[in-house]
Amino acid sequence: MGDVALDRRAFLAGVGGLAAGAAAASLTGCETRTERSAAESSRVLVVRNFGGSYGEANRKAVYEPFTRETGIRIRVVDFGHEQMLAQIKEGRPRFDVMDIDMSNLVLFEHEGASEPLDYGRLKNVRNAGIAQSLLTPNGVGKSYWASVLAYRTDAFGGRKPESWADFWGLGRFPGNRALQGEVDWPELEFALLADGVPFDRLYPLDVDRAFKVMDEIRGSVRTFWEYGAEPGELLSGGSVVASSSWAGRVQSLLGRGTPLAYEWNGARRQSNGFGIPKGSANPDAAYRLIDFALRPRVQAHMARLYPDGPVVPAAYGYLTESTAARLPSTPGHLLSGFDLDIEWWLENRDRVTRRWRDWART
């Protein structure tokens, strides 16, 4: 989850700098078309994901079972988004399928850097109940992650903040706060929810109203966190009593003795997805892997290993209640949170981010 957003930040900053990206790609990727043809002939599919525990979970839940079934071996690479785009623009991507967040899949579509998906070749998408917002022309969602309200349970005399209105309620829930920095989209939605805006009226965001509400707690926001583990560190150390956080990150700290909890109400959901780069050397195998990964049993296996939620509702039939309770796409959590509007943020990111930077410096 953290790696997704960190990579997006670097990509958004560098979409215009393709010359630098091309140079980086030339330095770090020496594979030629001949070598890629050899890889294809030996039934190797090159998948880009961001590695770490996420990559390891994919290996166990998706790649190894896929290889056993099809004989197609998976090789994983971790090119940054800027490098990926530069390789595609040069006409020689050194990966066949990309596992990236949906906002970057939309950006790749806008840049003409990905192939339109033939949904007729994805039989596990048909009538699967995948949200329409995750079925884009050039990308299909594969998992949900979410930003939530995390807090110290010993900070408020037994009271529990249960909403972003409580996060903003400094009188009843006093203490230092932390909000997300430039690692991801500014958290304006939380301010609007605190001010009473319902989920279905969040977008288009009322930016002026959001910043007016954010002014109310600016004096108590002592830190803007920049990496996924930081909110847990801040909360565990006691330097803040409440913070936004990626759900999976704070979950990993529960049960270790630190008095922490988090609240699903008002969670901001985002998604990872699959796309095929323009010029992929092995699109047929790419389609087979994507379709395999969207099987309900495979989605459930992945969710047991990594705390992202399945996009296929039937996957929950293969999960225990305790596992489902920590995932952002259970039916109850879908109702208590909202999906970030990618198109709105891509259209407005420059002006809103500039304004947020000015606000954060005050």
In this predicted structure, the answer to whether residue 327 has a pLDDT above a threshold of 70 is yes
Is the pTM for the entire model greater than 0.85?
A: yes
Separation of alpha carbons 164 and 209, rounded Å: 15
Label residues 106-142 b or e (16+ Cβ within 10 Å = b). bbbbeeebbbebeeeebebbeebebeeebbbebbbbb
In this predicted structure, the answer to whether residue 315 has a pLDDT above a threshold of 90 is yes
pLDDT of residue 5: 55
Token couple for 204: 């288009």
Domains of the chain: 44-144+271-328 (3.40.190.10), 146-269+342-361 (3.40.190.10)
In this structure, are residues 185 and 357 in contact, taking their beta carbons and an 8 Å threshold? no
Select the more confidently predicted residue: 134 or 258: 134
Tens digit of each residue's pLDDT (9 = 90 or more) over 80-117: 989 999 999 999 999 999 999 999 999 999 999 999 99
In this predicted structure, the answer to whether residue 278 has a pLDDT above a threshold of 90 is yes
pLDDT of residue 1: 52
pLDDT of residue 7: 54
Alpha helices by DSSP H, listed for the chain, are 2-14, 18-28, 33-41, 52-58, 64-70, 81-89, 102-110, 164-168, 188-194, 207-215, 230-237, 247-251, 283-293, 296-305, 321-324, 331-336, 342-361
Tens digit of each residue's pLDDT (9 = 90 or more) over 142-201: 999 999 999 999 999 999 999 999 999 999 999 999 999 999 999 999 999 999 999 999
pLDDT of residue 121: 97
Q: Rounded mean pLDDT of 285-290? A: 98
